[in-house]
Structure 1
Amino acid sequence: MQYLIIGAGIASASAIKAIRAVEPTAGITVVSDEQPGFYFRPMLPLLVEAARNANEFEFPPDFFAVAGLRIVPGRAVSLDPGKKTVRLMTGDKYSYDRLLIATGGSAVIPTIPGLAESGKAFALRTLADAVSLRDACAKARTGVVIGGGLVGLKAALALKARSLSVTVVEQQGQILLPRIDRQGAAMVAARLQEAGIKIMTGEIVREVNSRGLRLASGKDLEADLIVAATGTRPNTDWLTSSGIKLAQAIVTDEFQRTSLDDVYAAGDCAQTVDLVESRPLVSALWSEAVEMGRTAGCNMAGRKRKYPGGLAVMNATELAGLAMVAVGMVADGDPDQEVHVRQSAGTYRKLVFKEDRLTGAIFLGNISKAGLYTSLIRTRKPLGSLKDKVICNTLQALDLMPQTG
């Protein structure tokens, strides 16, 4: 059996481990347009803020010491499912018995007049991006981050750690939308501002000039460098003539199979289903890519495994010393939600219910029971008499264990 994997991220790594577990000496070829390809993407802000070496973030050498694993540098440009081949930009073709597409996503750079020409624009998506931003910080005094999502805020903290004066510009009325609600976002924003980061919401960047940025409101911001943190898009353009079913990304079923025989997809380039809302979902979460990759690898090797679906929001992190966990449906505005909020000095908790199920939760500050509540959301467990314990925060792990007679 010859396995071909396009892309060298965490979804690919998880698939490789799953295939190895079934076929220890299987022939596995990985094609990657990033060199090196296998690294810890969530840790990239640390590379910037601590001015660390890039090789510290690569996968350890023992990962590559795998029988039959071959890594080919190159970019896939077309797929021929009839001949079971993938052609690279070089013209080389690689055949497969089973194919995994795990090409991930690319940073979306907004089309702002003057941004591309400024020489100041950076992203924080790849290891190369992080290295470029790290080096630019050494010569900069001021930085502006466009986008107040999690990547943007992590980038802002990294720049601040490098002694830059930092402003975050977010066009929505709050940061971290839709990962957190307005009340929680205000708490996070206050903590970031205490750390010396200026947060500007409801502002749109109109243009970039030699001094910095001009906002639609007429305000000017000085910027020696600009980080664009405005989202990602799946890397699927090379598949448009392959006949594979595409929607928001590559459409997959619960086994990570695509519409083409013997072709699977996982990670940021795959469309699955939202576990809570049962609607199409393209997740850019590291944790979901791990599960999708594992599921794909198992099924490629003939060991049946289902991926039950992902969560649009699933974050456990820390921002300016404030611990945060947000899971499931947490944004404001759904009239069918039953919401319970508790807030005190330095802590915030929001629980969202639909009928008898917990469908979303936010924990800020005190996250001691976040894991337990996350399991309730993932399993979609009907709560019954346990609902009051969930609301009152008295639920214990023992409460979820099956009762024996």
Structure 2
Amino acid sequence: MAKDSGAKTLIRLKETYPPSLLVPNPTLSETARAASKYLFSSLRPFTPKSPLDQLLVEGYDTEQIWHQINLQSQPLLSTIRRQLNRLIKTAEGIGQRKLPLDVANKTAPNNQNQREEEIDYLYEELDEADKDKEGSGIEDKILKIDVLTDYLRKEEQKIKTASTHEKQMEKVGSKIKLMEKANIEPKTWTMLGEVTASQRPVNSALEVDIEFEHNVRPALVITDEMNASMEEMIKKRIIEGRFDDVKRAPKLPLKVPREVKELDHNKSKYGLAEIYEQEYVQKIDPTSAPLSHRDKLKNEVKRKVPALAMEEIAPMAISDAAMLAPEEVFHGKGDVKEDAELTRAERKRRRANKKRKFKGRGFLRL
């Protein structure tokens, strides 16, 4: 019963439509697993060195099942090679016994003919075996086909040993033949360029994906019903106050704005001599260092009041201008600077003043 069910699953798998194998199908997967298990068990007597007695299918994925089949195929191929070599040796011995002396002493071309006859004989045996065991010996067919294909390949290599240049020329010749055949054969209507309806089969354009280029959208057909529906929709939205127009997205700046740095264009209040003086004093006397952050936070209120105003002896009618010190009354023109410290504008101003003074003196002399 198990053999009959295995053979049925194998026949069912053989009769399935090939494209259906590409689609996931649990029923077809179970059928393939059962057929593989049947083939594995039928080939088990021919592989005594196989580590597995049967194919483990339940709970195993496809990679594990394929690995089990590979473990069985390696010893099977080695046994087939040994049997094939033994058959070749026995066939050569029988052929030498039956051949007469004059045929045995012939040259290499006769040996090649003999090999070709043996190949034809093996093909005939294969056809007869297929006819005799068409329904029951499926595994025997597979074994014999594999063995004979390997044997025929080896024999053809022995008969015809071509050089690398000849092999390359054969490949080039086969490619040329295929290209010539493709050029000579009539092409399909899709490869002929511009084709009218009379030059292609009926309804053949339905089977091809055709692309049409539309540069302009077709104009919308406006009817009275469409206008009425649009007006009703507009009035309804105005009454409800639903103005859900699409808001335009704000344009983001493409470049990051540069950081604006404030530059102080005012001239320094201290001269170079004063700056050097402050640095020198800070080195000698650390107590004269600049104020710290806490000292800067202090805000002392000082009233600039003349000392005489604070005394009772001073008269009440005295003015503030009379109580100013001489240095407070007369202000100099600025700090004394050397010629090297002067700027270009200051040099021009000093030169103009000197010219003005000289002109005044000359006018007085006249």
Calculate the TM-score normalised by the size of structure 1. Answer: 0.21
Q: Which protein has the bigger helix share? A: 2
Structure with bigger gyration radius: 2
Higher relative contact order (CA 8 A, sep 6+): 1
Q: Which protein has the bigger strand share? A: 1
